[in-house]
Amino acid sequence: MIIKLPRPKETGNISLEEVIKNRRSERRLSDKELTLETISQLLWACQGVTDKKSGFRSAPSAGAAYPLEVYIIGPSGFFHYLPDTHSIERLDKRDLREALSAASFGQRFVKDASLDIVICAEFDRTTGRYGKRGENYVYIEVGHAAQNVHLEAVAEGLGSVPVGAFSDKQVQELLKLPKELVPVYIIPVGYIRD
């Protein structure tokens, strides 16, 4: 099942400087559901196409190789983001947040968050062009994409936290990822609890 996301806003109500100043790792996240509009903004910030003609995306990519694949997990299931059509494809109807939390060494906020964004990489897309050095480029790109998500979360009045502590193997198995796709970064996002 493919769901077309609402067109993302390209202007906001808060300056970039304010967003940068207010960005913090926030673990007190509520599971209150996010709107489709908010999910659209977060995914567009992460890997959305910003120039239809060239296909360029919101985060820079060495040689425009775009090795990243973005997935989201929430109460309505597990989805794959399709940047070219700004859509999400449902891969599983189950809420996998608790299992993802277990694969993240029990970090509770992974389960508590409204949504978990999982950024994965197919390294060969970049290393095929740049050799071993391309691995560094992939990690740099993941950082760009993740920072965009963290900043967009602040702009949307949400909290987020970077998660790098997880079992690659367990996350790969849970999400049934192909072996060439490596989970690199998890971003729990949600409203901040009082």
CATH number at residue 44: 3.40.109.10
pLDDT for 80 beyond 90: yes
Domain count, the chain: 1
pLDDT digits (tens, 9 = 90+) for 108-146: 999 999 999 999 999 999 999 999 999 999 999 999 999
- Confirm if 58 and 47 have CB atoms less than 8 A apart: yes
Average pLDDT score over residue span 49-69 = 97
pLDDT digits (tens, 9 = 90+) for 165-183: 999 999 999 999 999 999 9
Q: Give the model's pLDDT for residue 194.
A: 84
User: What is the rounded CA–CA span in Å between residue 40 and residue 81?
Assistant: 10
- Print burial letters for 33-54: b (CB count within 10 Å at least 16), e (below 16): ebeeebbbbbbbbbbbbbeeee
82, 91, 77, 94: which is closest to 1 by C-alpha? 91
Host domain of residue 54: 2-190
In sequence order, which residues have a C-beta less than 8 Å from that of residue 1 and are 6 or more positions away? 89, 90
Phi-psi region of 145 (alpha: psi -120 to 50; beta: other; left: phi over 0): alpha
C-alpha distances in angstroms, 137 versus 54, 69, 151, 152, 187?
20, 15, 21, 23, 20
Enter the pTM of the model: 0.97
User: What is the rounded CA–CA span in Å between residue 65 and residue 193?
Assistant: 39
User: What is the rounded CA–CA span in Å between residue 154 and residue 150?
Assistant: 7
- Confirm if 97 and 111 have CB atoms less than 8 A apart: yes
Q: Give the model's pLDDT for residue 15.
A: 95
Assign 52 a pLDDT band (cuts: 50, 70, 90). very high
